[in-house]
Structures are given as structure tokens and as C-alpha cells.
Structure 1
Amino acid sequence: MKKGKQVTDDNEPPTYQEATAGYEEMEAQFAWDDKFIRQTFIRKVYAILMVQLLVTVAIIGLFTFCAPVRFFIQTHPGLYMASYMMFFATYIALSCCGELRRQFPWNIILLVLFTLSISIMMGFVSSFYNTQSVLLCVGITALVCLCVTVFSFQSKIDVTSCQGVLFSLCMVMLLCAITMSIVVPFGYVPWLHAVYAVIGAIVFTLFLAFDTQMLLGNKRYAISPEEYIFATLSIYLDIIYLFSFLLQITGQGRD
């Protein structure tokens, strides 16, 4: 009888506690690995972003403070068009070609060309505004970016789930742009342009929060750690567009 009972006990399935004994350790290890990968991803994105912004600020400063360079760039608008074409081509390549933006060193080369083209365009636009206006907009942009970043890191509000609101605001911007294109040939309307610029600044401030939370990966939607080039591209464009709209709102023309 004892022998039979021993055989029966040996054939019994393990209990739930015995079967899942190592799962908690495995889940903790996976969570730690995922957190480490996400932190590395965030550091990489912000490191590249800081280099981009430094290059952009340097070129804007050169075009704003150096009179010979400012005169040259204003008398050669073809450089702006060439920069715009480069911006458009590199943006299409980085946005639409997923394999290309993940392939080193082509992704870095395209990102460098993209950054230089945007920087030259912003420098060209800034050269028509006085120095105080440009510095003021740079300072406001930096302050807004700091506040949005702190908000995105600390807030429990999920901006990534507000895609409908962002889409609606983009439609409002589109309608304003269409209205301006119809009205401007008959005369410049300052208040309409101001409304368009204010809406644009609000939209890209929200997009900055959206893309930052996508980068952090702690909300409903997240971006893959493999897409560090695309994440950098998105946040950099949000900051550049925010600066350009603020310049339209507060900027004053050069005498």
C-alpha cells in the first residue's frame, strides 16, 4: 500500500505555486531589461537632439549677428530654395524609408543634411527680424520646451491618446492657411496671420508633448527603441516649428 501510494504521489501534477515559482523573477528581469533599453534610447535621442539644436542656434546666430553673411543670404534667395529642396528630400527619405533610417551610416548622413537644411532655412528667415526678437523667441522656445518636457515626464495625463484633438487643430490650421492664401492677394490681414501663428504655436507645443511621451513609452502609445532617428526627427521638427510660429507672433522686422 505504501508503495502504491508513493507512485500515486509521484504522478501528481505540480501545484500552481510550484509551476509559477520562477515567473516573477523572469518578469522582473524582463521589466528591468526593457527599462534599461528605454533609458538608453532616451539618452541617445536627446544627445542627438542637443547636437542638432546647437548647430541650428549657431547658424541662426551667424545669420543674425554677422552683417556680411546676413547681406549675402538675403541677396541670394536661391540658397533658401536649395535648402528647402534638400529638407523636403531628406524628410521624405527619413520618414518613408524605414530600412534606410535604420541603416548606419546612411541614417546619420541624411539626418546631418536634414539638420543643415533646416538650420539654413531658419537662419534665412531669422535674418529678416531684429536681433532682440530672435533672441526673445529662442528664449521663449527653450522655456516652453523645458516646461513641456517636465510635464511629459511627470504628468499622468496621456497626450498620446488625444490624437483626435491634434487632428482637429491641424484641420483648423489648414482652413486658416487656405483662407490666408485667398485673402492675402487682396491685402495683408494682420489679425488673420496672428491667429494662424497662435494656433500653430499651440499645435506644435501639443505635438512636442505627444512626441515626448511617445519617446518615454509609459503611455498608451510608444515608439520603438529602434526608431531613434525618427524620434529625434519628430521632436526636432516640433521645436523648429514652434520657434518659427513664435517668431511670427512676437518678431519685429529689421529696420
Structure 2
Amino acid sequence: MTSKTDNPPPYEDALHQPKYGNYPLQPQHGSPLPPPPSYSPSPGMCPGPPGYWGQEGVYPQAGMWAAPGFSPAGIPNTIPTLSAGVPAANQGDMEDFLSTQWESTAIRHAFIKKVYLILTAQLAVTFSVVGVFTFVDTVRQFVIRYPGIYWASLVVYFVVYCILICCKEPRRRFPWNLVLLGVFTLALSYMTGTISSYYETKAVFIAMGITALVCIAVTIFCFQTKVDFTSCGGFLCIASVVLMIIGIVTAVVLSFQYVPWLHMLYAAIGAILYTLFLVYNTQLLIGNRELAISPEEYIYAALSLYIDVVHIFLFILQVSGAATE
């Protein structure tokens, strides 16, 4: 708080009485007061009481007082910077902190780039297999005639998935996890191609287009939004259990040919749920949220996004196939 005597005079008084133009600032606490100026009236001027500020020769000397908004004479004007007022010992700590933040951001960007490169390769393999199983009639008839290969690929898919999830990447020169990821990609690609062979080509193309649009929209949304979906892991886990129960009920009901539209409803719910999973895993990849994936776990990050995209395609394929029929 400031006292009333510390404030400058009103505007009217300063306008009619120029003596307030150089209103002195109060000295700092603890600093000695300057000596009073000497009184030496000039010839031709009216005498006045000693110390009157309006007379010539009684103004404070240059540099003794500083008018409001002006710096004292002899002191250069400086522009405050970010490190102003910070001791020299702490400035080095600040530079180290900024360099550490820059390095962590660069590591995160390299991690995201690596994950999306792996994901692009996986999706290229998967949709190439889907294209072969859809357009080549010989391959389509083969996978329909021998369903045992489909179940074998399902077993390989499940086993390799458990290995990749449970085991950490070994500190060896040979990248075993990348090899397992390749085997997993081939198994899931064969499963996806086999399922696609039971649908018409038009339905497969519709599912591919919708899946691509959904993935692009989700990626842009995750990079732009400030909403944190990484705290919704429990909700997604419960929703997955509910979806599994609905799938079992749907399989039982459809075996008796009751409620034919129930299969389309189950597929729509599954597509929405795995879209939410894609949002969740994408934000884990980006970081700057409540939870984040370590840059060392690029195999797990690519695996999660790949499974989400493939399942979105399969559920949308079921909806578009039912609509086409």
C-alpha cells in the first residue's frame, strides 16, 4: 500500500503550477537523503521563501531525482530479458532445463515417426492381402474351401499377440520383436483377407474408404484437441467386456435365425468402440497427457494402433456387407 503523500499531485495543479513537473520520487528505504539544494536567487526574480521549487537554481541536480517514467541521467536504459534477476548460477540450470525439454520433444517426434512408419508397412501388407483375396477368384475359393487355415492363423495371432504384450524387448542385436511383429501381421492379414472373401467387392471397397476417413479424422482430432482420453482406460475395458458378451449373445441368437438385424447392431457398436480405442492409443502415442507410452515401446504402440485399425475395418465391413445384401 502507498500513502497519500507518495502520490503525484492532481492534473489541474500540475497544469497551472509547473513547479510540479519534476515531482521528486521518494528515496528508497535505507538510503541517505541528499543534501538540500542551495538557495541563490537570480537577478530580476522575485524573492521567495527558501527552497521554493519554482525559482531558478533550486531545481534538483541532474541525476539526483528521477521523474516518473524517466530513468536518471547517466544510467543506460535496458530491456528486461527472461534471465533478468536470475543469479548466474541459476542461469545455467535454466539452459540445461530448456535443452532437456528440447531433447525430450525431439525424442517424442522421432518415436511417433517410427511408429507410423511401422504402422504404414503393416497396413500395406494387410490391405494387399485383402485385395488378393477379394479380386483373385482362385484364392477366394481356396480359403473358403479350407477353413482350417483360418483357424490356424487365429491361433498364431493369439499366441504371438500374448508374447508381444507380455515380454519386453530383449537387449540383443537381433530384433526378435520385429520378427514376431511381422509374423503377427501376416497372421492377422490372412484372417482379414479370409473374412473379406465372404463379402462382395463393393462392400470391401466401402469398408476400406470409411476406415481410411475414420483413421484420418481421429488422428487430426487427437493432435488438435485438449481433451484427455487417456484417463478412460477403465471405461474402455468395461465396454470391451460388454461387447464380448453382446457378441456371444449375437452368435447364439443368429444360430437360431432370430433377429437378423442384431448382427448389424453388434458390428456398429464394435466399430464405435474400436474408434474410441484408436483415440485412446493415439493420445498415448502423442504424449503430453495423463498417461503416455515410453519411446522405447514402439513395438507395443504400433501393435495397438494396427489392431484398432484392422478391427474398425472388419466391423465396418460387416455393416456394409449386411447393408449391401
TM over 0.5: yes
Give the secondary-structure state (helix, strand or coil) at the position aligned to 2:294. Answer: coil
Preserved CA contact (<8 Å) 2:169 2:177: no
Residue from 134, 140, 154 that aligns with 1:70: 140
Matched, 1:41 2:78: no
Matched, 1:135 2:195: no
Q: Answer with 143-152 or 67-76: which moved more.
A: 67-76
Match of 2:261 in 1: 191
Q: Tell me the CA shift for residue 24 of structure 1.
A: 1.1
CA–CA distance in structure 1, aligned partners of residues 172 and 296 of structure 2: 7
CA–CA distance in structure 1, aligned partners of residues 252 and 156 of structure 2: 28
Match of 1:60 in 2: 130
Preserved CA contact (<8 Å) 1:129 1:252: no
CA–CA distance in structure 1, aligned partners of residues 317 and 178 of structure 2: 29
Preserved CA contact (<8 Å) 1:93 1:100: no
Matched, 1:107 2:177: yes
Match of 1:97 in 2: 167
Question: For residues 208-232 of structure 1, what are the alpha-carbon distances to aligned partners after superposition, in whole Å with 9 as ceiling and x for unaligned?
Answer: 0110110011211100000000000
Match of 1:153 in 2: 223
Preserved CA contact (<8 Å) 1:101 1:229: no
CA–CA distance in structure 2, aligned partners of residues 107 and 182 of structure 1: 38
Q: Tell me the CA shift for residue 171 of structure 1.
A: 3.2
Amino acid at match of 1:109: V
Question: Aligned residues, how many?
Answer: 241
Match of 1:10 in 2: none
CA–CA distance in structure 1, aligned partners of residues 173 and 260 of structure 2: 46
Matched, 1:204 2:279: no
Q: Tell me the CA shift for residue 119 of structure 1.
A: 0.4
Preserved CA contact (<8 Å) 1:41 1:228: yes
Q: Tell me the CA shift for residue 193 of structure 1.
A: 1.7
Q: 1:136 to 1:254 in 2, by over 3 A?
A: closer
Preserved CA contact (<8 Å) 1:59 1:119: yes
Q: Unpaired runs of 5+ in structure 1?
A: 1-14
TM-score (norm: length of structure 2): 0.70
Return the structure number with greater helix share.
1
Matched, 1:119 2:189: yes
Q: Unpaired runs of 5+ in structure 2?
A: 1-84
Give RMSD over aligned pairs: 2.1
The higher relative CO (CA closer than 8 Å, separation ≥ 6) is in 1
TM-score (norm: length of structure 1): 0.88
CA–CA distance in structure 1, aligned partners of residues 138 and 86 of structure 2: 78
